[in-house]
A and B are shown apart, each in its own frame.
Chain A
Amino acid sequence: MVAGAGAGVGVEFWRDRPKAAAPRRHAPAALRAALAAEHELIAGLDASLPAAGSAAAALRQLRADHAAHARALAAAVAEAGGAPAGATTAASGSAGTSPPPPARSVAQLRQAETDASRRAAERAGALSGRDATLLASIAACEASHAELLA
Chain B
Amino acid sequence: MTGALQVAWQAALAAEQRAAFGYGLLGAHLHGSPQLPLAISCSDAHESLRDGTEQAIAAAGLTPVAPAADYPDLYPVNTAAQAEALAVRLEDDCAAAWRYLYATAASATGAPADTLRGAALNALMAAAVRATQWRKIADPAKPTVAFPGL
Contact = CB atoms under 8 A, between A and B. Distances in A.
Contacts of B128: 140-141, 143-144
Contacts of A36: none
Contact of A65 (B95, B146, B149): B146
A43 interface: no
A140 B95 contact: yes
Interface residues of A, number: 32
A137 B148 contact: yes
A105 interface: no
Nearest to A131: B106
B28 interface: no
Interface string A70-103: 0010000000000000000000000000000000
Contacts of B107: 128-129
A66 to B, nearest CB: 8
B133 interface: yes
B116 to A, nearest CB: 12
A141 B144 contact: yes
30 contacts: A57-B141, A61-B142, A61-B143, A61-B144, A65-B145, A68-B146, A68-B147, A124-B121, A127-B106, A128-B107, A130-B103, A132-B102, A132-B106, A133-B106, A136-B106, A136-B124, A137-B149, A137-B150, A139-B121, A139-B125, A140-B127, A140-B149, A141-B145, A141-B146, A143-B128, A144-B128, A144-B131, A144-B144, A147-B133, A148-B143
Interface of B: 95, 99, 102-103, 106-107, 117, 120-121, 124-125, 127-129, 131-133, 136, 141-150
Interface of A: 57-58, 61-62, 64-65, 68-69, 72, 117, 121, 124-125, 127-130, 132-134, 136-141, 143-148
Given A128-B107, A130-B103, A132-B117, 14 more contacts: A58-B143, A64-B146, A65-B146, A68-B146, A69-B146, A117-B125, A132-B102, A132-B106, A133-B103, A136-B106, A139-B121, A141-B128, A144-B128, A148-B143
